[in-house]
Structure 1
Amino acid sequence: MSVSSILAETGTVTRFAGRVFREGFRPRFEVQELLYQCYVIGYQSLPLVGLTGFIMGLVLTLRLRPTMVQFGADSWIPVMVGMTIIQEMGPIITGLMVAGKVGSNIGAELSSMRVTEQIDAMSVSGTNPFKYLVVTRVLAATLMVPVLTVLSDAIGLFAAYVGINTNGVTTVALFTNQIVARLTFGDVLPAVIKTFFFGFAIGLIGCYKGYYADKGTEGVGRAANSAVVAGSLAVFLLDLLAVLISSLLGLY
């Protein structure tokens, strides 16, 4: 893609986001559909996110332990692992997993509805398809990604505790106190806030790719694939922006 086409699509996505905000504050509110999308995006993604979080915490601990022991700093393993998971690894891994699972599902679902003209049929029947299909999914993703991140962090920390106890004995109270004693407001707040933006970007991009998909079955595949790629890239870019802003504000 050329620079001009990237800028053009960025402008189109920005207008799409503006429409999401406008439609989102106008009644009638699709509460039932929103709750259903929260179930689909949140609850059905929990097994994948939880398994990924457990593996992340266990691998991180097992790989970090030999180096820390070599420098005589094995007592700092809980703090190092906890800070890494809470600040970066947890939000990033969760965002990528949701972008892969949810982003592709949204892109494929909406693009198939566009191809089969179901969206046009909803407009004819008097239903606002944008509010029903797009706003609910974007809002559900925005709300559920932070929840999934917190759960992933908790599971990852539990896996870290298991990893530490494979070569020693550490109580739950000691492990927890070592992490909590080093955490500050500036460590937790940016990590939580940026996950809301992760969820918004994933939902927005998935809906945009699916809602304006090309006609034909090939358009469904392209919409799902591009939703995953663009959503994952957006997660990395937003994380970089969050780190830069936090550094400027002195939170890190």
Structure 2
Amino acid sequence: MNKVFERLLSGLFLTGQILLHILQGKIYRNNSLDQMAFVGPASLPIALITSASVGMVFTIQVAREFVYFGATTAVGGVLALALTRELAPVLTAVVLAGRVGSAFAAEIGTMKVTEQIDALYILKTDPVDYLVTPRVIACALMLPVLSILSLVLGMAAGLVISDTIYDISSSIFLDSVKNFLRTWDILVCIIKSVVFGALIAIIGCNWGLTTTGGAKGVGRSTTEAVVISLISIFVTNFFLSWLMFQGTGSAVIE
């Protein structure tokens, strides 16, 4: 437990270093582009499959109840709000934490225990600039893109289920989406995705940089990085949702 606490403190220090170095323009562009390709296009298939599945299942569960109560005109809007505000950014971040966060921790952890990090210092190269910052930038930029694409596919999957199973026409579905969804909801999705992306990269890189104990330590760091990333996503999501949607009244009707 003390080891986890120490790593969390080092993560806060690492976050400050990253922000400072980005403001100073210490960015390896080629590394950042390589990491963006790894984080974005390579993660797209699994993110889209997840969003399509969630969109279909959510529509089945909501539509059958709404049809029973005669509220079919609200199915599309409810799905749009759920995906935009919560499901798309959170589930895409979970996918990224499992695929990318673990890879960051394993790769950098291996470099740490094989003394490649020390070699970077000998070459007068800051590991934060060379390894960490490009990964943070890549995750913070690509996760919003993945979330928006997941949102679109999730909505399309919900539309297909509504039309084919519950006879809710596409025009009614899309009108409901238009009536419920606001620009602010899209901004919420993007903001959450940027925060989650940065968290995943920082935690994965920090756990990698603090790895000890050889191959066993790399495996332990990889597992812990994913677990801590998931916990951080869920906890941060609560506070972001509370800040953005707190208070009484309707967030749908302006």
Question: TM-score, normalization: structure 2?
Answer: 0.91
Alignment of 1:1-252 (within 5 A): 1=1, 8-248=6-246, 252=251
SS at match of 2:165: coil
Q: CA deviation at 1:190?
A: 2.1
Q: CA deviation at 1:27?
A: 4.3
Q: 1:211 and 1:11 mapped to 2: Cα distance? A: 13
Contact 2:15 2:202 (8 Å CA) reproduced: yes
Q: CA deviation at 1:6?
A: 5.8
SS at match of 2:164: coil
Q: CA deviation at 1:97?
A: 0.7
Q: CA deviation at 1:195?
A: 1.3
SS at match of 2:40: helix
Inter-CA distance 123–9: structure 2 relative to 1 (3 Å threshold)? closer
Inter-CA distance 228–58: structure 2 relative to 1 (3 Å threshold)? same
Larger deviation, residues 177-186 vs 132-141: 177-186
Q: CA deviation at 1:151?
A: 0.6
| 1:191-216 deviations in Å (ceiling 9; x for gaps) | 32121110110110000001111130
Identity of aligned residues (%): 30
Contact 1:99 1:202 (8 Å CA) reproduced: yes
Structure 2 counterpart of 1:39, one-letter code: A
Larger deviation, residues 99-108 vs 59-68: 59-68
Larger deviation, residues 161-170 vs 116-125: 161-170
Q: 2:90 and 2:150 mapped to 1: Cα distance? A: 11
Q: 2:93 and 2:189 mapped to 1: Cα distance? A: 12
Unaligned runs of 5+ in 1: none
Contact 1:114 1:215 (8 Å CA) reproduced: no
Contact 1:164 1:170 (8 Å CA) reproduced: yes
Q: 1:216 and 1:13 mapped to 2: Cα distance? A: 21
| 1:158-208 deviations in Å (ceiling 9; x for gaps) | 110111122244554543232022212333322321211101101100000
Q: CA deviation at 1:123?
A: 1.9
SS at match of 1:12: helix
Structure 1 counterpart of 2:147, one-letter code: T
Structure 1 counterpart of 2:233, one-letter code: V
Q: 1:79 and 1:133 mapped to 2: Cα distance? A: 42
Inter-CA distance 152–243: structure 2 relative to 1 (3 Å threshold)? same
Unaligned runs of 5+ in 2: none
Structure 2 counterpart of 1:118, one-letter code: Q
Q: CA RMSD in A?
A: 1.9
Q: 1:112 and 1:221 mapped to 2: Cα distance? A: 9
